[in-house]
Structure 1
């Protein structure tokens, strides 16, 4: 039994539910999971539960089992979420752990409804014209994750003061994912990078498809991705002042998560913005160096 499982709330079913969420986090969220190891043990189960919920729903849309109906799965998850907020046992282990976390930290339902709404958008919206158009999606898919985590991480100021920074960090993570996963998203028929931003450099969906098929970068795509990397770095800068507003024991986790995710942008630069050839990843050795530097930097802050 792991430390996280021993620190999970009592009850065989509940501990098993939290353990299932921890395994989902460890398997799918390598960067995120590494950062959570720095949280106090009592906070980790809740973080795993929130991640487990988000991953379960996201997989139903992005990687549905053959023959499954993503719309029907999202409707089923909405019913399970309804059971959670009605105080019933939803039966599903991930939602059981989620229900306990929701009650312990008094998390509001609109944050979870917004996430489901964005996941439904993935089934019908294939592109976004502007950053303003994209904002509704990123609010539900990412900003609310930061807001869900805020009560678990704790703050040294009123939570409302820290909330904009938490939302901004979620947005930065999501924009980083969009840049890293351009090729995979294109294969699914989606382009999250705003069409107007791409068009400013002469890039459209057809050019992205051609470059993806040819396996060759294009100067226009390179310039567009470079501009979007710069935009995303600005969002990280907007989010970073929120880290000192967290409780001291939570700061290393968030600082490392931010550093590791922003490190993906460094790797995109290192491959000359060629994001269509394959998924850009931070090598394990570099990941550990980045994590150690971020932890040391946050520990010397007052």
Structure 2
């Protein structure tokens, strides 16, 4: 079972540390907000525009996903990763039974579940996605890559749905899931070099790599061949299709949530154009949306 002491030991020196902090719901949400501000400024920038109650719910969900991600990223050995993830899974099980531990994350999430018509299943799907990362296998094709993306990112879209589409009479699960998949594909296309260099992972699907005559030796050299560009664009086109599909349904989301959600989609989609502007260099630099471009994308979302 995880305790506050466990979190402090696991994340010593980072924003997760808890030392004699007051157990109030304001503090609990502030804890979650610090996590999203630290790890995803663009995500925070977009969703901080939600009404307070909804914004805080998003922060809590993000904090859960970040901690789940850290179970893998903060531990180097597989057995340590699995142990950390098993502990978090046990925490989630206790939460599902109404027996959560006394920790800011779980107290905040309990408040979220009390306020919104939440579904616990996507939280379990997120943990399944993390296990897929631990037992990583290079995706055979685009279809298998999207299955992986569905668990690690599509699940997040479904977690957020009761908050940003609380008034909708339509089933938007597939729409929210597709937005998550589009964002995960974007992450993969942005981090090709970093994933290979730092994690030894190739998320580019094998079937498509063969189709465009691109292989691991070229990737290890950071070679930006025409084949790589064609492969990259093939996956980017799929992501952009999913983004476009999402925007076609934006009017079905809550009125007070449309602008922040659309902003986040536009900002993330903008990463693809940033990579294009860099000459498809996702090996030697971190591509991101500039502050000026971000402002333009946010303005576009407000139209």
Asked if 1:243 corresponds to 2:268, the answer is no
**Partner SS, residue 134 of structure 2:** coil
The alpha-carbon deviation at position 15 of structure 1 amounts to 2.1
Judged with a 3 Å threshold, the aligned counterparts in structure 2 of structure 1 residues 49 and 238 are, in CA distance, closer, same or farther, namely: same
**Partner SS, residue 142 of structure 1:** helix
TM-score (structure 1 length as normaliser): 0.87
Q: For 2:74 and 2:266, how far apart are their aligned partners in 1? A: 28
Q: Structure 1: which 5+ residue stretches go unaligned?
A: 1-10, 298-302
Contact residue 68 and residue 85 of structure 2 kept, 8 A: yes
Structure 1 segments, 4+ long, off by >6 Å, are: 65-68
Residue matched to 2:207: 196
Contact residue 156 and residue 246 of structure 1 kept, 8 A: yes
Q: How many residues align?
A: 281
The alpha-carbon deviation at position 273 of structure 1 amounts to 1.5
Judged with a 3 Å threshold, the aligned counterparts in structure 2 of structure 1 residues 293 and 63 are, in CA distance, closer, same or farther, namely: same
The alpha-carbon deviation at position 113 of structure 1 amounts to 0.9
Question: Which one of the candidate residues 166, 171, 196 is aligned to 2:181?
Answer: 171
Mapping of 1:113-262 within 5 angstroms? 113-160=124-171, 162-187=172-197, 188-211=199-222, 216-262=223-269
Q: For 1:74 and 1:32, how far apart are their aligned partners in 2? A: 24
Q: Structure 2: which 5+ residue stretches go unaligned?
A: 1-21
Q: For 2:43 and 2:32, how far apart are their aligned partners in 1? A: 13
Deviations 1:96-143 (CA, angstroms, capped at 9, x unpaired): 212322333232222111110110110112310012222331121111
The alpha-carbon deviation at position 243 of structure 1 amounts to 1.1
Deviations 1:28-87 (CA, angstroms, capped at 9, x unpaired): 111110001221112111100000000111122124379991111101100111111111
Give the aligned CA root-mean-square deviation in angstroms: 2.0
Larger deviation, residues 268-277 vs 172-181: 268-277
